[in-house]
Copies of this chain bind each other. A is one copy, B any other.
Amino acid sequence: MNELRRDPITGRWIIVLLGKIPTVTDFKVEPYTKNAEKCPFCWGNEAQTPPEIIAHRKSGPPNSPGWTTRVVPNKFPALRIEGALNKEGMGVFDVMNGVGAHEVIIDTPEHYKDFADLTSSEAEEVVWAYVARSLDLRGDKRFKYILIFKNFGKVAGASLEHPHSQLIALPIVPKRVLEEIEGAAKYYEYKERCVFCDMLREEIEEKDRIIYEDANCIGFCPYVSRFPYEVWILPKKHNSDFAGIPRDCVPNFARAMRDCLARIKALLQDPPYNFIIHTSPINGHERNDYHWHVEIMPKLAKVAGFEWGSGFYINPVPPHIAAKNLLSVKLDVK
């Protein structure tokens, strides 16, 4: 019989199907070909983006080739950096100006790579760019939350194929983040322990859903995975704020991301995916009840539409099987 499982953080339930488990090739991932022609994120085309905010470069002046990671404002931003919020009521609704920051982190100059293909030090550079931009933007008093994420592949919402991540600084804390934080706070109130730390302890004890572990980080297919081959990465040491990641943890975290994504890429034929860094809102204090982490969600299953409306997920691949399959990949990484 299938199993209903409840996530203690958000109270979300999922149905794990325990019948015939789809094989890796059952998820028909559409093959794609990349084309670097006219790509605004490649070397030599720097003038096609707004001027860079920061860049790691080996050579050259700003906005010229020679960079290895480059951060630019989004040319078509959902939110704009200029202006006041002007929050006001509108009947039963609240309305605010679309003030915020919307930046693009170009992970690498190499059009045909993805995060999964980066060397450890290249991956570290990207993480440092995330951290640097988070630290800078949190100085702006209008912003309450910094959301860092990646859409990879058309199905996952990427409109450009050159490897890039995005950062949106928001004047509000997004709902899913609030839910997590409130759920974690309730757990803490009751148990005086961080729910993520408790979950981590259980994953480490049970072992069979872990796909990455080092001194600082862990990557696993969570017991209450919403999606087939969902992977979470957590720092082992309690820390609520991604931007406050200790310097010595960065190489581990970058490697954890790269290795987990490389396993997903190799096993599942380079599927589209999203990852999102979940961190605490900008407010200047470390929280005992929240734990930053990354959620990686391969886009494999046809989206069973009712999930949008119900918040109820059906996962056809039990997470311990997903972990076993991901671990079977022979990694060829630097």
Contacts and interface: CB of A to CB of B under 8 A. Distances in A.
Given A3-B97, A311-B179, A274 B305 contact: yes
Contacts of A97: 1-4
Contacts of A149: 305-306, 309-310
Number of copies: 2
A174 interface: yes
Given A11-B175, A92-B195, A175-B10, A274 B3 contact: no
A220 to B, nearest CB: 14
A98 B15 contact: yes
Contact of A151 (B99, B304, B310): B304
Interface string A255-288: 0000000000000000001101010000000000
A179 B10 CA distance: 11
A contacts with B: majority SS: mixed
A12 interface: yes
Interface stretch (A36-44, A64-72, A294-302): A294-302
Most buried by B among A8, A92, A151, A273: A92
B151 A4 contact: no
Interface string A237-268: 00000000000000000000000000000000
Contacts of A1: 80, 83, 97-99
7 contacts: A3-B95, A4-B97, A4-B172, A91-B202, A159-B302, A273-B305, A278-B309
